[in-house]
Amino acid sequence: MKYASEAILGAALGAAVDGMIVIDSAGVVQLVNPACERIFGFAASEIVGHNVNMLMPEPYHAEHDRYVQNYLATGARKIIGIGREVKGRRKDGTIFPMDLAVGEARDGDQRFFVGIIRDITARKEADRRMSELQTELTQISRLSDVAEISAALAHDINQPLSAAMSYVQTGVRLIKGNKDPQQTVTLLEKSVAEITHASQVVQRVRSFVGHGAPQRGTANVGTIARETVALLDSMAEQARVRLDASIPIALPEIYADEVQIRQVLFNLARNAIEATKDSSVREVRIEAEHGADGFVIVTVSDTGPGIAESVRTQLFKPFVTTKPGGMGIGLSICRTIVASHGGTIEALPRPAGGTEFRVTLPITATEATHGS
Ligand code: ADP
């Protein structure tokens, strides 16, 4: 069958879920199917015979004629045979996202273009909601991380405050006894240093928790690693694990959400401390290097027993845990964050025993980093 009969063509166009629209080389609509009427809210009679740009918001509305002319003159394909996401405008003026694929047909020396339109409002909305939920989940997880190490943090705050209190008390006694004022000044200065220390801990926790809304900018892996070490210092000390970071000064900055990258390093380092606490050698290191292809490679390595066989293949899936009170979401959140930055994360066994988590992060923004 060379040509489908009009009846067959009509049935096909009528049954199609996607909108279909045929225009001539001047952009004038020749034909629309019922799905197209549903999507745009116009009756076919209101569209056919008019310029197709009536279905487009600016800037497409003003520029469409020029797009078509440009294609006819140069043959340079911007959308034909490629397809892309564009915006449509309904009869009621609302603008919506749609996938548009365009094919070209010739009839004698007449040229026509066939557009296939899929309204992706629902998909976009679901994507948006999903990324909103993911952001909320990472935020909740940060709060629960802080809650988990709260005993160690309370110690970090209490200790300098108690020291400051006893300096001040001694200072008060000296003043009452009319003793050497210089000694009192020294005590007060010491107490200021202790209070500053306590307030830095509070500040560190506040920046760890963040504000919720993801925010990307240039970030320094060295700074993030040092802050992570400071946050986990007491926890490591209690577990008698040596925790340190060694990051070269010349490491390029990355384009990232600092709060989220801190969360990744925190999760990896905390897991590493927990895994290492019963080993004979107890060391956790955060290191970084400038990798090839515009990536920074950050590794968190430990001298623990390695990844348990039972979780090895599912490590980054949610709710996978070997810990009695574990939630099993830390690594899955790490993977989500790293992937949304256009990077990768993997766990490798270390030749000398223990595990090395290796994270790559792009130095500049990539496709994936524009998404969320
Ligand atoms: P959770 O810490 O709540 O278990 P995670 O997703 O952070 O959740 O970790 C999942 C599991 O991965 C852990 O229960 C543990 O078995 C394993 N794991 C993670 N990091 C290490 C590590 N450094 N060494 C050994 N096992 C690890």
pLDDT digits (tens, 9 = 90+) for 14-43: 888 899 999 999 999 999 999 999 999 999
Q: Is the pLDDT of residue 108 over 50?
A: yes
pLDDT at 367: 46
Closest to 24 measured CA to CA, from 66, 68, 63? 68
Determine the distance separating the centroid of ligand 1 and the alpha carbon of 321, expressed in angstroms.
6
pLDDT value, residue 243:
97
**307: Cβ below 6 Å to ligand 1?**
yes
Among candidates 274, 292, 296, which has minimal Cα distance to 222?
296
105 lines ligand 1 (CB under 6 A): no
Q: Is the CB of 12 under 6 A from ligand 1?
A: no
**Atom of ligand 1 lying closest to residue 315 CA:** 12
Beta bridge partner(s), residue 242: 283
| pLDDT value for 369 | 44
Pairing of strands 283-290, 217-219: unpaired
Q: What is the pLDDT of residue 151?
A: 87
Please check whether residue 39 is in contact with residue 22, taking contact to mean a CB–CB distance below 8 angstroms. Answer: no
Query: Measured from the CA of 354, which atom of ligand 1 is nearest?
Result: 24
Q: Are the C-beta atoms of 30 and 112 separated by less than 8 Å?
A: yes
Q: Which of 268, 321, 337, 356 to mutate to test the pocket of ligand 1 (most atoms within 8 A of CB)?
A: 321
Ligand 1 pocket, residue 304 CB under 6 Å: yes
Residue-level pLDDT at 212: 73
pLDDT at 178: 84
Determine the average pLDDT of the residues in 127-131: 91
What atom of ligand 1 comes closest to residue 304's alpha carbon? 24
**Residue nearest atom 23 of ligand 1, based on CA coordinates:** 272
- Which residue's alpha carbon is nearest to atom 7 within ligand 1? 330
pTM assigned to the model: 0.79
**Mean pLDDT, residues 118-122 taken together:** 96
| Whole-angstrom distance, CA of residue 102 vs CA of residue 238 | 64
323 alpha carbon to ligand 1 midpoint, in Å?
8
Q: What distance in angstroms lies between residue 175's CA and the mean position of ligand 1's atoms?
A: 55
Answer yes or no: is pLDDT of 67 > 50.
yes
Put the strands of the sheet holding 355-362 in their side by side order: 242-246, 283-290, 295-302, 355-362, 344-349
CA 320 to centroid of ligand 1, rounded, Å: 8
Residue 4 is predicted with a pLDDT of 67
- Predicted confidence band of residue 5 (pLDDT cuts 50, 70, 90): confident
Question: What percent of the chain lies above the pLDDT cut of 70?
Answer: 97
- Assess whether the C-beta atom of 308 lies below 6 angstroms from ligand 1: yes
Which residue's CA is minimally distant from atom 17 of ligand 1? Answer: 307
CA 289/CA 267 separation, integer angstroms: 20
Predicted pLDDT at 214: 82
Per-residue model confidence (pLDDT) at position 370: 42
| 328-371 pLDDT tens trace | 999 999 999 999 999 999 999 999 899 999 999 999 865 444 43
Taking the centre of ligand 1 as the mean of its atom positions, its distance from the CA of residue 65, in whole angstroms, is 58
User: Is ligand 1 within 6 A of the CB of residue 327?
Assistant: yes
φ/ψ region of 96 (left if φ > 0, alpha if ψ in -120 to 50, else beta) reads beta
Q: What is the pLDDT of residue 43?
A: 96
Mean pLDDT rounded to a whole number for the chain: 91
What are the tens digits of pLDDT across the range 227-283? Answer: 999 999 999 999 999 999 999 998 999 999 999 999 999 999 999 999 999 999 999
Say yes or no: CB of residue 171 within 6 Å of ligand 1. no
